[in-house]
Amino acid sequence: MAPSDLALSDRPAERHRQVAGLFTERVRGTPSWDAPSPVPGWTARDVVRHLTGWFPGFLAAGAGIDLPRGPSVDEDPVAAWQVHSDGVQAVLDDPETAHRKLTNPHIGSVPLDTAIDQFYTADVFMHTWDLSRATGQDDRLDPDFCARLLSGMESMEEVLRSSGQYGPRVEVPADADTQARLLGFIGRNPFWSGR
């Protein structure tokens, strides 16, 4: 599915299904897990390790939800991702999620589905480019969602930079498309090639 084939939903559960579905396609299409990625020091395997690694603790600490654990990313990155992604989707599809909150000292108390959407689904979306580029797959992202994320992040750039989660901004040409501008903002060189 090309990103332009289907606009991303505004509903957190459906948006996760779409974004994680595209990432799953890239996971299944990865020919070498040791391929370098655009994130300095990370391989394709490390991109999956990051997404399956940080979010379970965030969810457990903030909402008391324990996601199912699959095999380690070192053993089987495809299965590790699938178990993790299915677990997140089950939380979003659970009718009780609409009545739950996630509480975190940095963000306060936020509706659970909103927190997953803003912090996790957006992270999967951006790391889809990393995995795609690392493995020579289609790396196009949904341009409308790129624009939305960029707009939201630019308004709080100082906070984001001070978090240590984003590298220094990479300057891109003035006529760069929204995807390239988003990638540059989060510290990626949109023209990176591991070859």
DSSP secondary structure string, 101-127? EEEETTTEEEEHHHHIIIIIIHHHHHH
- CA–CA distance, 171 with 182 (Å, rounded to integer): 11
| One-letter identity of residue 135 | T
pLDDT in tens, 117-175: 999 999 999 999 999 999 999 999 999 999 999 998 887 877 776 666 777 889 999 99
Looking at the chain, the whole-number percentage of residues with pLDDT higher than 70 is 94
Residue 35 reports pLDDT greater than 70: yes
Query: Which part of the chain is CATH 1.20.120.450?
Result: 10-139
SS3 43: strand
Alpha-carbon radius of gyration of the chain: 16
Classified by CATH at the fold level, domain 10-139 comes out as: Four Helix Bundle (Hemerythrin (Met), subunit A) (1.20.120)
Looking at the chain, the whole-number percentage of residues with pLDDT higher than 90 is 82
Rounded to the nearest angstrom, the gap between the alpha carbon of residue 179 and the centroid of all alpha carbons in its chain is 14
pTM value?
A: 0.92
pLDDT at residue number 1: 44
Find tokens 């690392």 and name the residue: 134
